[in-house]
Amino acid sequence: MIGIDVISIDRIRSSCDRFGSKFLSRFLSSSEIQLCHNQDQPNFQRIAGFWASKEAISKALGVGIGGDLGFLDICLSKDSKGRPQACLISSKSDLFGIESIHLSITHDQNLAIATALIVQKSSKIQAHILKEGKL
C-alpha cells in the first residue's frame, strides 16, 4: 500500500509560532521533537517532513488520522545514515498486520513531501481479500 502527503513548511512554521510546544506534542513524541531541533532551534523542514510522513502512512493504511490511527501511534526516527525510519506502536502494528514500512521524505522550496510504502503480512492481506469477497 502506498500513501503520499505534501505540506507547506510555512504552514508548519506558523502553527509552531502560534501554538508552540502544544502544537508539536499533538503529533510528535518527545524523541521525535528532539530530532526536529538543531541546537534548541526548531528545524521547520524536518517538522513538516515528519507531519507529511505520518499523514502518508495513515493514507497508505486507508484510514487517515482519526479513530483507527492517531499521530502518536506512528513512531519516526533516523538510522545511522540519517534515513527516515517508521513503525507503528505494537497494538496498531498488529491491528494492521504490518510487516514493514518504507518512507521517503523530501523538501523543496516551501514544501515537504513524504511517501510511505507499507508491506502487510500475507495473512492480513488474505483476510482483507476474503472480507471484500474477491477470493
Q: How far is CA 109 from the centre of its chain?
A: 21
Catalytic residues: 59, 107
Smallest CA-to-CA distance from 60 within 24, 114, 131, 123 is with 114
75-124 pLDDT per residue, tens: 999 999 999 999 999 999 999 999 999 999 999 999 999 999 999 987 66
To 10 degrees, the CA torsion angle through 15, 82, 107, 14?
10
Q: Where do the domains of the chain lie?
A: 2-131
With a cut of 70, say whether residue 132 has pLDDT above it: no
Separation between Cα atoms, residue 25 and residue 22, nearest integer Å: 5
Provide the pLDDT for residue 38.
82
Q: What are phi and psi of 49, to 5 degrees?
A: -60, -40
CATH architecture of structural domain 2-131: Alpha-Beta Complex (3.90)
Provide the pLDDT for residue 128.
59
Region of 14 please: left (phi>0), alpha (psi -120 to 50) or beta. alpha
The side-by-side arrangement of strands in the sheet containing 98-108 is 2-8, 111-120, 98-108
With a cut of 80, say whether residue 129 has pLDDT above it: no
How buried is residue 112: exposed, middle or buried, by Cβ count under 10 Å (0-12/13-18/19+)?
A: buried
pTM of the entire predicted model? 0.88
What cell numbers appear for 58 in the block?
495513515
